[in-house]
Structure 1
Amino acid sequence: MPIVKSHYNPPLIFKNGHFSTIHSGLYRNVSGVYQKRERITLSDQDFLDLDWSYAAYHKNVSKLIIILHGLEGNAQRSYIKGTAKIFNRNGYDAIGINLRSCSGEPNRLYRAYNAGASEDLREVIEYILTNYPQYSHIVLKGFSMGGNLLLKYLGEPIRVPKEVKAAIAISVPCQLEGSLKQMGRVENYMYNRMFVKSLREKLVDKHSAFPSLIKLEDIKNANSMLRIDNLYTSKAHGYKDAADYYKKCSSKQFIPNIKIPTLLISAKNDSFLSKSCYPIEEAEQNENFYFEMPKYGGHVGFFNRGDVYYTEKRAFDFATLA
């Protein structure tokens, strides 16, 4: 589809991309969403924790939204709860997936999560369809790295179940190597160090559980995202190295094959995204893929007055029309 015109125009201070990113990530608080956790066992005997919240004042609910967080996030993040809240208000149950190692408890295997682990999303959807057959209308939403995973899933050769009606992705690094290089810029130093610190702490946990597979000295030397991906992310998930991981898991190459209505929203002032992360040509050539590029919003920002952020309202409206 042609590029979707955006009408997002936030208050002046939120036109600063960094302010929008930081405010949403650190200071936003979403109340009124009550989550109930369910642990499911995957085919490789690892586990995922699903955090459910339920439609308010609705019975016989047949609609469900499944939400994926970003790098080092979890299902308690404000952007997950904000999405769940608007959908719960309007007759949807919601699941926030905590990706492997992100629910507050280390996962069982040496592997964890990555930007291309679409097999885990596929297993969750299969689990829902088998164990909760009342859900005949499923919407998917992914943020940042989780959005990359989602778009990859939608464009892979394996058929998407007919119950999945629409998808929305926010602030997605569709070209992983380009985003990695962008994150290395001086303006992103604070974010980059935060991610590296968090990931290295998890690698120390991996060393404690699997001392023969990863060494503390190597973790100490893994002082960048690229080095972490070369040391662990790629090797633990079956890729040759970081470059191989980025090449095979970047979602941009899968967008032409998406066959259900899908909306991507990425701000032009998102400091996490390189020019290669904006799939303009792919959107123009796929009638199922809608791409909106607001001038403002930062990375998973998109502040709006009130308790519903811009991309949350857009996601619900898109799901309703799909």
Structure 2
Amino acid sequence: MTGGNAHSALNGFRAAWWLPGGHLQSLRRKFGPGVTVAQEGERLRLEDGDFIDLAWVRPGGEIAPGDPVVFVLHGLCGCSESLYVQALQHHLLARGIASVAMNFRGCSGEPNDKARSYHSGVSADADQVFRKLRERLPGNSFHCVGYSLGGNVLLKWLAETGGPAGLDRAVSISVPFDLAQCSAALGRGLTRYYGRYFLGRLQQDLAAKKSRFRETGNEVELALLEELGPLQDIASLWEFDDRVTAPLHGFADAADYYAKCSSLPLLAGIRTPTLLIQSTDDPLVPPASLPDPARLPENVRLELTGAGGHVGFFAATGSRLEQTVADFLVSE
């Protein structure tokens, strides 16, 4: 599967003339306009007492035995309401395919109940939620789609498990395969503005969580956050990962976190049929960090375009991304 795909909607992809370059492609996906879809929310309790919120889209309001279900993982500072998630769920709905988007901890508009949050390697959370879904729908086939950070989580999960039982196919989009390289890129050139945006959002989320813990008297978890010390001077995403992400999630520092959670060195261990969708003009993912197609296992294929940005892929006729994803998931 490492070669091209004659049936891919991204074959010969050309960016819309009014959206040239990786930055405009990326910003178009973020700021819309975009389609929306009616989602049904559900809250799942995790084994540690925390919660994760899901967003279901069911054709006809139900899922029949044997029907496929697509499990969706969003990116950094995203959620189930992100336009790219809704665009996929809308497209799948039109094709009669059910989907469920998982909000990582603290990403559904409400702080989660633990000091720990989410990061690029939280494959254990994805696995736990997936197992709950499989228990509930044992007669259904599942696929998974991960965007950016969620794509890295997906690939790490696939490699760690050798392919979760019941997961038939997977697609990752605009993945930061090498977290150290991508973190460094977020501090350079125009891309540093993306880094500042992410940092601001993460700091806001952290402040909201502290306020929530004070209001609810969650002293144990608040103490874990207070142990991090003053954080107002953090100036980069790398520094946030070094002083917040790493200590909260059991890593020695940012370098340790990046080394242990990057999906790039794990790709050879993936056994599930998987499509990797990337663009060489992605402002958040340097081309040097992309995997070598020749070193991928036969069941993993890299679909690499010269345009498309970060989770963009807008041609003159609209986005090519959703069709490409759905076609791969339902192909024989």
Normalising to structure 2: TM-score of the pair?
0.90
Match of 1:45 in 2: 49
Q: 1:300 aligned to 303, 306, 311, which one?
A: 311
CA contact (8 A) 1:207 1:213 kept: no
Query: In the TM superposition, what is the alpha-carbon distance from 1:261 to its structure 2 partner?
Result: 0.8
1:162-208 deviation per Cα after TM superposition (whole angstroms, max 9, x unaligned): 32110000000000000011111121122111111111112223444
1:236-268 deviation per Cα after TM superposition (whole angstroms, max 9, x unaligned): 111111100000000011110111110011111
Runs of 5+ in structure 1 lacking a partner?
Answer: none
Distance 1:56 1:279, change over 3 A: farther
| Pairing 1:179–2:182 present | yes
Match of 1:200 in 2: 203
Match of 2:16 in 1: 11
Distance 1:59 1:130, change over 3 A: closer
1:81-127 deviation per Cα after TM superposition (whole angstroms, max 9, x unaligned): 11111212222111111100000111011100010000111011100
Match of 1:219 in 2: 231
Distance 1:294 1:131, change over 3 A: same
Report the AA paired with residue 271 of structure 1: P
Taking the aligned partners of 1:269 and 1:198, their CA distance within structure 2 comes to 24
What does 1:141-156 align with in structure 2 at a 5 Å threshold?
141-156=145-160
What does 1:87-98 align with in structure 2 at a 5 Å threshold?
87-98=92-103
Match of 1:253 in 2: 265
Distance 1:80 1:227, change over 3 A: same
Taking the aligned partners of 1:211 and 1:38, their CA distance within structure 2 comes to 26
Distance 1:230 1:86, change over 3 A: same
Taking the aligned partners of 2:163 and 2:303, their CA distance within structure 1 comes to 23
Query: In the TM superposition, what is the alpha-carbon distance from 1:321 to its structure 2 partner?
Result: 1.7
What does 1:41-80 align with in structure 2 at a 5 Å threshold?
41-56=45-60, 60=64, 62-80=67-85
Taking the aligned partners of 1:4 and 1:149, their CA distance within structure 2 comes to 25
Identity %: 32
Match of 2:325 in 1: 315
Runs of 5+ in structure 2 lacking a partner?
Answer: 6-10, 214-220
1:47-71 deviation per Cα after TM superposition (whole angstroms, max 9, x unaligned): 1000001125987252100111100
CA contact (8 A) 2:268 2:295 kept: no
Equivalent position SS for 2:169: strand
Taking the aligned partners of 2:223 and 2:133, their CA distance within structure 1 comes to 36
Taking the aligned partners of 1:269 and 1:214, their CA distance within structure 2 comes to 37
Query: In the TM superposition, what is the alpha-carbon distance from 1:3 to its structure 2 partner?
Result: 4.2
Query: In the TM superposition, what is the alpha-carbon distance from 1:22 to its structure 2 partner?
Result: 0.6
Q: 1:262 aligned to 274, 277, 291, which one?
A: 274
